[in-house]
Every structure is written in structure tokens, then in C-alpha cells.
Amino acid sequence: MGSYDEFEKWLKDHYPAGLVRFQEPMRLHTTFRVGGPARYMVMPCGPDEITEVIRWCRRLELPWFVMGNGSNLLVSDHGYDGVILKLGRQYGTVCAEEDRLHAQSGAMLTRMARLAAEKGLAGLAFAAGIPGTLGGGLMMNAGAYGGELSQIVERVQVLDQEGRIRELTGEQMGFGYRTSILGKESLIALAADLRLKPGDQEKILAEMDELNRKRKEKQPLEYASAGSTFKRPEGYFAGRLIEDAGLKGFTVGDAQVSEKHCGFIINRGEATAGQIWDLCRIVQERVYGLFHVELQMEVRLLGKF
């Protein structure tokens, strides 16, 4: 407890009350709308603050985790007994200059796509309906409808394990299907430059509207979820395998395999993280038992399950 006491004193001495929360319910910060309390939630406003919080966590040997909008995260009902660094609105500036967007990692992808369209810049319309931040998108190489961040990332500013701020090119990011070097080397994305192409504003906005129409038609956006729950297995579609396994609409408590799109596990209102996790394991076991295909989670787990 001594380490936590020292950290708490430092937080109170250095952070305004609005940027630090204690025993913060994580259900308020994830799109699944589940999760117990985080002992501390800190909302840094700049790279130096992020570096300093992590330095203190490492010095005191406290567990810590960096998150964005929580759109790809399942937090335990027991919460997280450590420090959450939430990079969100307070660390989400975006600006356009010629054919580039520069954004901090807490910027929402939807906001970035809208700004690009307003500036007549093409190449980011696919992100108009992705409910995550740039940082999370870079971690997972976010994509939809044939577009991925890997196609437009020019450079990324990262914080490495030694506390150094480095710059990586798009090629050095090691992008793959729902992966990048960030997760492999425990790097934290601080900001990025995206290179786009001049386009017709009306056409870009129309494309975004059409993609959002398709999302509403095919995805259960009326329910809390983390988007696609499982990665696409090579040669298959996760949703089709789950439906063929007879699991469409299958429930554990208020957690359900969506009847609209079987690739989504949804919270019908009062689901717990434990119920969602139990349902995910049932899906994995049933699909493997029937088709010998191993479904890997696209959603990240945080806390004890």
C-alpha cells in the first residue's frame, strides 16, 4: 500500500481534480458498457505528462494500462487494480495542412474522417464509423470496407519502454491484419501524420454517408458492443462460422451473439463482463469443435477473468 499512497499523493499534488478519478467505473469508459472500477484513472494532456505518469508507475512498480475510447476492450467485473491512462478528448487535437492530417492519439477516428472530408481530403472515409481513437487504431491497424490506417500512415510518434520519444515511418510500424509493432514492442502511440489525397468534398461526404448506412443496416449498432469480437480466420469469416455453428442469438445472461451479425457479441442491457467472456469461450469452443478453426479474440481483455 505504501507505493499506492506515494503515487496518490503525487497525483493530488500535480493533477487538477478533473483529470484524476479514483475508483472510476470502467463501464463508463468502454463501448461494451461493462467493467468494475479502476483504482486510478489519469487523463494526461500532453506527451510529458504521459511520460511522467508512466515513469512513476514503473518506479513504484504499479500496474498501468493505456486506453483510448475503450471500443476494443473488455474490462473485468472486478475492475483494474492499477493506473489507467486515458488518452481521450483532452489529448485529441487534430489539424489539417495541405494533404496531411496531424493528430494526437486521443483523437476520435470519426472526427478525423469528418475533418478530412471537410477539407476535401480523400482516403479516410472508411474510418467514419469506427468508434475508436487514433491510438487504438494504430495499435490494431483499424480498417473497414477495404480501407486500413496502414494505407495512409506516414509517420508515428511513439513512447518506448525506456521512456524515449521516437518517430517511426509507416513502413516501420509493421502493420498487418489487426496488428502493428505497437503491441509487439509495447510502444505507446503519441501522435501521427496521415497522408491523404485531394478529392471532391461532396463525393467524400457521400461515400461516408453510404458506408454509415451500410453499418446501420448490417451491424447491431443499437446495442453496446466492441465491434467485431473475433479476428477473421484465414480463409473464413468469423460471423459465418458462428452462425453455421448454430449460435445465432445464443445468450449467456444478457450477453448475446447478435442476431443481426454473428461476428458481434452484444450487451443487451445488463450483461456483465463475466457473461460476455463466458459467451466468447463458448463460441470459440463450439466453432473449433465443429470446424477445427480457432477464433482469436480481436477484443482485448483487462483485469482478472
pLDDT tens per residue, range 82-100? 999 999 999 999 999 999 9
What's the start-to-end Cα distance of the chain, in Å? 23
User: 104 forms bridges with which residues in the sheet?
Assistant: 191
pLDDT at 238 over 60: yes
Q: For residue 179, what is the DSSP state?
A: B
Task: Check whether 177 has a pLDDT greater than 60.
Answer: yes
Mean pLDDT of all residues in 35-54: 96
Q: Are residues 191 and 103 in contact, defined by beta-carbon separation less than 8 angstroms?
A: yes
The count of other CB atoms within 10 Å of the CB of residue 163 is 11
At 1 the pLDDT is 46
Mean of the pLDDT values across residues 43-64?
Answer: 94
Cell of 36: 468494475
Rounded average pLDDT over 272-291:
98
263-280 burial, b at 16+ Cβ within 10 Å, e below that, comes to bbbbbeeebbbbbbbebb
178 is catalytic: yes
- Residues 230-237, mean pLDDT to the nearest whole number: 95
Work out the average pLDDT over 139-166. Answer: 95
Measured CA to CA in angstroms, residue 240 lies from 18, 44, 101, 199 at distances of: 45, 41, 37, 36
Over residues 264-272, the mean pLDDT reads 98
**pLDDT of amino acid 17:** 79
Confidence of residue 140 (pLDDT cuts 50, 70, 90): very high
What's the average model confidence in pLDDT over 15-44? 95
Whether residue 40 contacts residue 53, with contact meaning beta carbons closer than 8 Å, is answered with no
Cell, residue 161: 519502454
Among candidate residues 24, 71, 178, 258, the one labeled active-site is 178
Per DSSP, the three-state class of 25 is: strand
User: Has residue 2 got a pLDDT over 70?
Assistant: no
Q: Which of 8, 52, 154, 298 is catalytic?
A: 298
**pLDDT for residue 3:** 84
Cβ–Cβ under 8 Å, residues 113 and 149: no
The per-residue pLDDT for 16 is 84
| Eight-class DSSP state of 4 | H
Average pLDDT rounded to a whole number, residues 214-225: 96
Report whether 130 contacts 110 (CB < 8 A).
Answer: yes
Residue 136 grid cell: 487504438
Note the pLDDT of residue 301.
98
Query: Mean pLDDT over residues 134-159, rounded?
Result: 96
Q: Which amino acid is at 61?
A: E
Q: Which of 71, 105, 180, 228 is catalytic?
A: 228
Mean pLDDT along residues 175-204: 96
pTM metric for this prediction: 0.93
Summary mean pLDDT of the chain: 95
Residue 302 host element (H or E): strand 300-302
What average pLDDT score do residues 160-183 get?
94
Catalytic annotation present for 180? no
Assigned C-alpha cell, 250:
445464443
Closest CA to 285 of 249, 251, 241: 241
- Predicted confidence at residue 151, as pLDDT, reads 97
Tell whether the model's pLDDT for residue 144 goes beyond 80.
yes
Confidence check: pLDDT of 135 > 80: yes
Q: How far is CA 61 from the centre of its chain?
A: 25
Distance CA 73, CA 40 (A): 17
